[in-house]
Structure 1
């Protein structure tokens, strides 16, 4: 005859009760956290898959925030360039009046207006986004432009220089790069340098936008120097009080005005390139946002439980635990009577 002792029954009961208690706790914790697992050991395969998706999501979010910052910078640049375009269009209208043989009083007033416009454009180009100068290229710590004696300087070099070494330096600065990762598959070459096609260059060089150097006749190529020089010429030509400019000044004024229009076309072409880059950033940001939404759906499907199923499991586990408590006394009492008989 097989005899069941009270101690044996008690041990079995305690084990089953502990299991029911653990099941209830685990089911309750699942409802509270909404997670399918809380440690790697619970489901190694699912946890590894979830880790990969979470890592991809974190990387995508970093890229999206980087892209968003770049978008704001380029929007700031576009706003500044639009302001410069408005200022310059006004300057062109003023310049046209100034070179048409206006009287001395009008020429002087127009000349001063052009000089003020040139100063205003320099201030616009020295605008900041955050704590960095927008048009300073890769060196955003210092104001890039300075207008002095009718000459525009970029990082201390005359934009209308004819010195080969200085021109080479301006050329280098106009092509500076500050690469950021916006989800284009960032890679480095064998020299640990960023491969340009795998990153985005956020550097905006004012020297590249305005143009530098001189035309064949020695006139500067940038619109600000041209505006300042024509303004100063009009002021100087009005100093003698004559109604018309002398022939030499008139010829020089006409040449500067022609170059102002020619340089403006080049400026608009460079500005269009910046607009294209800004549009690419926005399109790429849309892609990153869509990718982020997809990754969120993926890791939620891996990590999250169906709440209805979790609640059903919890209710069943709670019922089982309460039932175990209720029958405990009966089980122990019956086992003791059987033993005594």
Structure 2
């Protein structure tokens, strides 16, 4: 069979183009480090690579979250420590102020110190880190703790703290339009983060607490909440530290009230211990966070 020169040339050029194309692909793979550049070139390996890239991105995000939490938790602990120190210091001074030999002039001075201390505690309770209020629940737009201009009572997200209770897993207060009903305190929910525990979200959009890490700290648990209680000496004492210190301040400056001051002192000790418990919980969370570090797993 006779083969023309044109056919030979065409076949040669086709083979040459194929070889050059393969050489270019090999050079591209060696330069880029990629086995292929298009998903259509290898669908199975391409899909697997996409999953790996997605998992890598998630791990990087989780690692970044864990590192940010480490700094945030240090700030939380620092503010808790400041509040606890102030309260412990006041315990000693109020105890001394209850002595009959202390004198009214000294009590007046102590009353001013108590007033300054409660304002300091309020500042620490409204502390921020990275533009976020540390003890505000889901509220990041404004300071969570305020003082009612008329009553002088402590409020959390606009609700009187002494009207708040904990029911069915939520912080609630009486419905103003129907006191027999309750409403959930605004922005009092918890905030969670994905740190690699296999985050699951319910149909309502809420994360499963077993698969997410709680990053928020309830200011209500730190400051105290709920209706006033009756002390051993029969006097009414507030259940939150701010209103309690307001009452102590008044008792010191308006004259010596032994029974009232004793009951207030006892309550102050209990609320101080509660702050210590919150710091213990923080320590537990810090330990869990370290063990859940994506780098260590």
Give the TM-score category using the shorter length.
Answer: 0.7 to 0.9
Are the equivalent residues in 2 in contact too, given 1:67–1:281 (CA < 8 A)? Answer: yes
Give the aligned partner of residue 41 of structure 1: 40
Are the equivalent residues in 2 in contact too, given 1:136–1:206 (CA < 8 A)? Answer: yes
User: In the aligned structure 2, how far is the partner of 1:220 from the partner of 1:121?
Assistant: 16
What secondary structure does 1:198 align onto? coil
Give the aligned partner of residue 254 of structure 1: 262
Equivalent position to 1:289, from 281, 287, 295: 295
In structure 2, do the counterparts of structure 1 residues 52 and 222 end up closer, same or farther at CA, with 3 Å as the change threshold? same
Cα shift readout 1:39-82 (whole Å, capped 9, x = no counterpart): 12322222121122112222333333344444443332222111
Give the aligned partner of residue 142 of structure 2: 142
Shift of 1:187: 2.5
Matched, 1:279 2:287: yes
Map 1:181-192 → 2, pairs under 5 A: 181-189=194-202, 191=204
Please tell me the root mean square deviation across aligned C-alpha atoms, in Å: 2.9
Instruction: Provide the TM-score with structure 1 as the length reference.
Output: 0.71
Shift of 1:169: 6.3
Are the equivalent residues in 2 in contact too, given 1:115–1:232 (CA < 8 A)? Answer: no
Matched, 1:165 2:165: no
Unaligned runs of 5+ residues in structure 1 are 238-244, 292-341
Cα shift readout 1:250-274 (whole Å, capped 9, x = no counterpart): 2211221121112211222233223
Are the equivalent residues in 1 in contact too, given 2:163–2:174 (CA < 8 A)? Answer: no
Give the aligned partner of residue 208 of structure 1: 221
Are the equivalent residues in 1 in contact too, given 2:139–2:187 (CA < 8 A)? Answer: no
Shift of 1:233: 2.1
Give the aligned partner of residue 220 of structure 1: 238
In structure 2, do the counterparts of structure 1 residues 66 and 184 end up closer, same or farther at CA, with 3 Å as the change threshold? same
Number of matched residues? Answer: 278
Instruction: Provide the TM-score with structure 2 as the length reference.
Output: 0.81
Unaligned runs of 5+ residues in structure 2 are 166-172
Give the aligned partner of residue 197 of structure 1: 210
Give the aligned partner of residue 96 of structure 1: 95
Matched, 1:154 2:156: yes
User: In the aligned structure 2, how far is the partner of 1:223 from the partner of 1:170?
Assistant: 24
Q: Kindly indicate which of the two structures has a greater share of residues assigned to helix.
A: 1
Matched, 1:61 2:60: yes
Give the aligned partner of residue 21 of structure 1: 20
In structure 2, do the counterparts of structure 1 residues 127 and 104 end up closer, same or farther at CA, with 3 Å as the change threshold? same
User: In the aligned structure 1, how far is the partner of 2:174 from the partner of 2:208?
Assistant: 28
In structure 2, do the counterparts of structure 1 residues 169 and 212 end up closer, same or farther at CA, with 3 Å as the change threshold? farther
